[in-house]
Amino acid sequence: MQRKFLTNLALLLFLNLLVKPFWVLGIDRSVQNIVGEETFGFYFTLFNFSFLFNMLLDLGITNFNNRNIAQNHQLLNKHFSGILILKLLLAGLYAIITFAIAFFIDYSPEQIYLLVWVALNQFLLSFIMYLRSNISGLLMFKTDSFISVLDRLLMILFCSVLLWGRGTGASPFEIKWFVYAQTLAYSLTAVLAFLVVVKKSKFRRPNWNWPFFVMIIKQSFPFAILVFLMTMYYRSDTIFLERLLPGSLGDQQSGVYAKAFRLLDAANMIPMLFAVLLLPLYSRMIKLKESVTQLVKLSFSLLFTLAVIVTVGSYFYSYELMDLLYYENIAEASAVFKRIMFSFIGISTIYIFGSLLTANGNLKELNIIAFIALVVNFSLNFILIPKMHALGSAYANLATQITAAIPQLILAIVIFKFKLDYKYIIALVVFVIGVVLLNMLSKEVPFAWHINFVLMICASVVLAGLLRLLNIQSLLKVLRDR
């Protein structure tokens, strides 16, 4: 399983690092710079609002299905046609709840119009994720890897034409075009993923089966609550900013927050890819009563090393990175960015140990932890935003991720009876201190900042190797073993 994890992780990372950074740093960033902070903040608030009720589109079916298909491949033929109908019913429920609340909080006609398209995109994305859960549950990781980047690849193509391919004298780029491009890209990706699953499931026609719907919802509901709570505390910050701050200040501060959050969200792509592979692998291993200790240690070492380098580097080079990417309010965005990026370590920990606990069926404990994290997030946003604006949301985000990560780590150690390896823990602590010192040293080197930044990364990777957190010899041995 370690070999399968590493080989497929390499492919998944290669494809995503090839495509998604260009989307985030080339397209998404360019759109914000062109339309301006306030307009992009207007869109970003609606985007996050549509995410809040994303749970209604899925009710935990995707995570439940991924775990279930990984443990019982034969269930794909039995479940797919029924779940297909259920997903459409849930889409209707999602639309009713989302727009009822949008009208209740007095969204303007312009906001409602754009929300229609953003909500449609949420449905398409949810449908793609469900289809991919079948593909990865069958351990078809290579196929899943290509589908995982197809939507972004298409969006890059469509948005590149809209941004730079219309010639001089064309009308100014509009934020709604950005949303339309996403709709088209998601639609094409969903069609392809659907065809792949249909072929594997021997699908013939949709199947209306009310007892089956009830059974699936009952089994997946704990997953739904977990996804809902995590989405609420991860995506609600800009909504608080837009609602709690007066006039256009809310949209403007949402735009500032989006600048910093964009890179955190992009970095989160990597631990999310780990989880995509780990959840079905953990599920399979737990069912077969195989030890997960080595896979957990391997994945955590890789991800923790990356998270520390990214987080500490972002703190020391926050102004330079924001200045490289954006045109206005650099100091304000930098202050938010250097704080919020510390959330990345907590998020990475959650993806490793949260996936393990999910595969083991510890949903009750995970939901309690997520609810506590949600209370922390809402409380801090209400307290800090009126005083500190976007910076307050950054502190709320950081506190929330720490609140969720530490209990999950402790719970996994207790449930799986992991033995504390003090030598390994000391190596982790030394690595963190070493990366901080390397960043401080790199700021004093008389080269251009981007050269110093690259040198710091290289030195940090070497330090990880010396501390055997990145053990190349062991990784190669795992890849050779069959």
pLDDT in tens, 158-204: 988 888 876 655 677 888 899 999 999 999 999 998 888 887 776 66
Do 429 and 328 have their domain in common?
no
Cα 405 from Cα 343, distance rounded (Å): 10
Burial (0-12, 13-18, 19+ Cβ within 10 Å), 343: buried
Do 432 and 387 have their domain in common?
A: no
Residue pointed to by tokens 């995982």? 148
pLDDT class of 478 with cuts at 50, 70, 90: very low
Residues 428 and 381 in one domain: no
Same-domain check for residues 449 and 341: no
* The domain boundary residue, chosen from 419, 435, 451: 419
Mean pLDDT of 284-313: 88
pLDDT in the model for residue 4: 57
Q: Indicate whether 359 and 274 sit together in one domain.
A: yes
Q: Write down the pLDDT at residue 289.
A: 85
pLDDT of 212 above 80? no
For residues 183 and 399, give the distance between their C-alpha atoms in angstroms, rounded to a whole number.
34
Per-residue pLDDT for 352 more than 70?
Answer: yes
344 and 466, same domain (yes or no): no
Is pLDDT above 80 for 67? no
pLDDT in the model for residue 479: 44
Can you give the residue range of the structural domain that contains 259? 2-419
pLDDT band, very low/low/confident/very high, at 138 (cuts 50, 70, 90): confident
More confident call, 43 vs 212: 43
Q: Report residue 107's pLDDT band, with 50, 70 and 90 as the boundaries.
A: confident
Predicted local distance difference test score (pLDDT) of residue 222: 81
Asked which of 120-134, 206-220, 261-275 is least confident by mean pLDDT, the reply is 206-220
Q: Are residues 445 and 331 in the same domain?
A: no
| Closest C-alpha to 132, from 190, 71, 174 | 190
From 366, 398, 419, the end of a domain falls on: 419
Does pLDDT of 7 surpass 80?
no
Percent of the chain exceeding pLDDT 90 equals 34
How far apart are alpha carbons 90 and 469 in whole angstroms?
44
The per-residue pLDDT for 234 is 81
Indicate whether 368 pLDDT > 90.
yes
Indicate the average pLDDT of the chain. 84
Q: Cβ distance 392 to 256 under 8 Å?
A: no
412 and 372 assigned to the same domain = yes
In total, how many domains does the chain have? 2
The answer on 434 and 293 residing in a single domain is: no
Q: Summarize the confidence of residues 210-223 as an average pLDDT.
A: 76
Instruction: Determine the pLDDT at residue 141.
Output: 72
Residue 230 exposure: Cα atoms within 13 Å on the Cβ side: 20
The pLDDT value given to residue 310: 94
Are 291 and 341 part of one and the same domain? yes
Separation between Cα atoms, residue 258 and residue 234, nearest integer Å: 13
311 shares its domain with 454: no
Per-residue DSSP letter, 171: P
